[in-house]
Structure 1
Amino acid sequence: MPSTMSPLRYPGGKTQLYSFICNSLEQNNVDGTYIEPFAGGAGLPIKLLVNNKVKRVWINDFDKSIYSIWYSILHYPSDLKNLINSVPFDYSGSSHSDDDNLKYWNEIKLLHDKKKSNPLSILNAFSTLMLNRLNVSGIINGGPIGGKLQNKTKIYVRFNKKTLCKKIDVINKLKDRIKLTNLDAIKMISSIPNEVSNKSNTFIFFDPPYFKQGKNLYMSFFNYNDHKTLASKIMRQDYELNWIVTYDKSDEISILYKNLKNKYEYFISYSANNKNRGKAPEFLFASENTKIESYENIILE
């Protein structure tokens, strides 16, 4: 698995596409603005910024809890790091009993339930980040790593204080090049042409919630009508804008994007795919004027 510069573990995160996206940016002569309307863990845009592949990124997430993490990283990094460092265990071990650690997890879950409606709350950010690091596959609504018995794997194996704080510092130093919003992605799309200074020097990566498993993986997910409305909005985008869309493979999504010229299938593996680990088929769609090609381990078919 590729390393990610995001503090979040995200089901279906697209860091694996980094080299492919870099090549796509070069193919389309884009080094200006990179946009993710469904940013989630935002591993790709952060890595693009760190490596100076683009001048600026626009990350958006409609989920109040996910947004709160990014907001706190950009505005209250020290407070967030202090909360992280106050946690009574780390990936290296714990001086407390398994029962005490699970009690702490329950307290974090209760805190999240209380604060999750406030996108500006640092306690929302902290509790969401903790559940992401402590839960199976990073699923916020999921159960703790190791289960209630903690007899094989411990709850803290994915929680590294030092690494998390370092990532927060790296991202915060880039804050002047990051635009962060908490918008409904469907409504956001129509505003993009007016928000970017150079449409041809802009690249948009739409990575919506999964069609089949979205409700099981994310706190904010789409129903069929949402996916249909999104497809219609995307395909009416300004011709000058470069964009791609990725989706889990399904007949319904194939029909929604059937009129596109650039339709492909590629394969990628995901940790949350417990029953079928390995290669999971995905769709990749692109605007007519966006040049894309197979690159490294990403083969378009």
Structure 2
Amino acid sequence: MPNNILTSPLRYPGSKSSLTDYIAAIIEENLLSGCTIYEPYAGSAVVSLEMLQRGYAQNAVLVERDPLVYAFWRAVFSCGEELCEKIKELEVTIETWDQFQRFRAIDDPAGHSILELGLAGLFYNRTNFSGIIGAGPIGGYSQSSNYRIDCRFNKARIIQQIRDLQHLKNRVSVIFSDALEFMKKYEEEIENGFSFVYIDPPYYTQGKRLYRYYYDDYDHQRLAEYILSKQFPWLLSYDDHPVIRKLYARAPLQPIYVDYSAKTSRRGNELLISNLVIPPLSLDSPKCEIEAC
């Protein structure tokens, strides 16, 4: 797939699409090409999907705690064409935004239609401010802004992206679970397999604002204590904060500069942390661009 076409149909706060070249280089440098890539905080899943597309990973395991995001990925890889038909018929309006509110109240997808939940997850991701499922609609409820609720909902492009992913459906597993609980449960399988684990947890500073299932200090500490004790290959990305630097003080850290959007002034520093050899970034620091509205 050409690099100028985004693999993932989802918009996501902190999307790591700009880091895929660097992560591919880490996989190659550490002789992990052809591995199974685990992404315990799937979100946009762009890293796993890009590694599959480029041949650096043979299989991917996507783990997601948000039931709407989980259901979207399940729908993509289990009933992708049906999902595309639903998208074609979907009215991208404030009225639909209201009607889908009942799906945002669901905490567990069990007993619910994956297709309906997945459609709602995509809808809110593409119609809410910055792709935040728990946020309000682009343009506000009154729709008086220059940007309207459908400004990021290009049906033709989204449908094409979903169809482009269908050739991967036998190589992708999608699991509904808490990330840390998943890694503990499948630790033996991960350790004994040809594995690479990419960990992108909720941001330390802005997590509560950006994600419906965010972490508090105790959660961040639990993750650090667990992953630092593991021998399987892992790479972790975080916002650069003194607390995070302290938690991972004994692991190699690689600071990166991130420009979150070419259309806003939001900028920040992040960290890459790993138990692998991670080379320095090139002089041209990666920039993660997130759509402004």
TM-score calculated relative to the size of structure 2: 0.88
How far has the Cα of 1:252 moved from its partner? Answer: 1.4
CA-to-aligned-CA distance 1:228-249 (integer Å, 9 cap, x gap) = 00100000112xx211111112
CA-to-aligned-CA distance 1:58-94 (integer Å, 9 cap, x gap) = 11112211111111111121221121111235xxxxx
2:76–2:162 CA contact under 8 A, matched in 1: yes
Query: What one-letter code is carried by the residue in structure 2 that aligns with 1:189?
Result: M
Confirm whether residue 247 of structure 1 aligns to residue 238 of structure 2: yes
Alignment-derived partner of residue 182 in structure 1:
176
Alignment gaps of 5+ in structure 1: 90-100
Residue 295 to residue 257, structure 1, CA distance change in 2 (3 Å): closer
How do 1:259-298 and structure 2 match up within 5 A? 259-260=250-251, 262-271=252-261, 276-277=265-266, 279-287=267-275, 290-296=276-282, 297-298=284-285
Q: Which moved more, 1:189-198 or 1:140-149?
A: 189-198
Alignment-derived partner of residue 154 in structure 2:
160
Query: What one-letter code is carried by the residue in structure 2 that aligns with 1:8?
Result: L
Query: What one-letter code is carried by the residue in structure 2 that aligns with 1:137?
Result: S
CA-to-aligned-CA distance 1:204-223 (integer Å, 9 cap, x gap) = 11110011111111111111
Query: What one-letter code is carried by the residue in structure 1 that aligns with 2:167?
Result: K
Query: What one-letter code is carried by the residue in structure 2 that aligns with 1:225?
Result: Y
Alignment gaps of 5+ in structure 2: 287-293
Taking the aligned partners of 1:139 and 1:84, their CA distance within structure 2 comes to 19
Taking the aligned partners of 2:99 and 2:182, their CA distance within structure 1 comes to 35
Taking the aligned partners of 1:77 and 1:294, their CA distance within structure 2 comes to 39
2:253–2:271 CA contact under 8 A, matched in 1: yes
Residue 139 to residue 18, structure 1, CA distance change in 2 (3 Å): same
May I ask how many residue pairs the two structures share in their alignment?
Answer: 279
Confirm whether residue 232 of structure 1 aligns to residue 225 of structure 2: yes
Q: What percentage of residue pairs aligned between the two structures are identical?
A: 29
Alignment-derived partner of residue 13 in structure 1:
15
Query: What one-letter code is carried by the residue in structure 1 that aligns with 2:19?
Result: L
1:268–1:282 CA contact under 8 A, matched in 2: yes
1:69–1:125 CA contact under 8 A, matched in 2: yes
2:61–2:174 CA contact under 8 A, matched in 1: yes
Query: What one-letter code is carried by the residue in structure 1 that aligns with 2:277?
Result: K
Query: What one-letter code is carried by the residue in structure 2 that aligns with 1:166?
Result: Q
2:58–2:171 CA contact under 8 A, matched in 1: yes
SS of structure 1 residue aligned to 2:57: coil
Taking the aligned partners of 1:106 and 1:182, their CA distance within structure 2 comes to 25
Residue 294 to residue 3, structure 1, CA distance change in 2 (3 Å): farther
Computing the radius of gyration over CA atoms, which structure comes out larger, 1 or 2? 1
1:14–1:43 CA contact under 8 A, matched in 2: yes
How far has the Cα of 1:126 moved from its partner? Answer: 0.7
Residue 118 to residue 193, structure 1, CA distance change in 2 (3 Å): closer
1:17–1:298 CA contact under 8 A, matched in 2: no
CA-to-aligned-CA distance 1:22-76 (integer Å, 9 cap, x gap) = 1101100112111111111101111111222211111111221111111111112
Query: What one-letter code is carried by the residue in structure 2 that aligns with 1:249?
Result: D
1:19–1:295 CA contact under 8 A, matched in 2: no
SS of structure 2 residue aligned to 1:35: strand
SS of structure 2 residue aligned to 1:225: helix
Taking the aligned partners of 1:5 and 1:138, their CA distance within structure 2 comes to 16
Alignment-derived partner of residue 143 in structure 1:
136
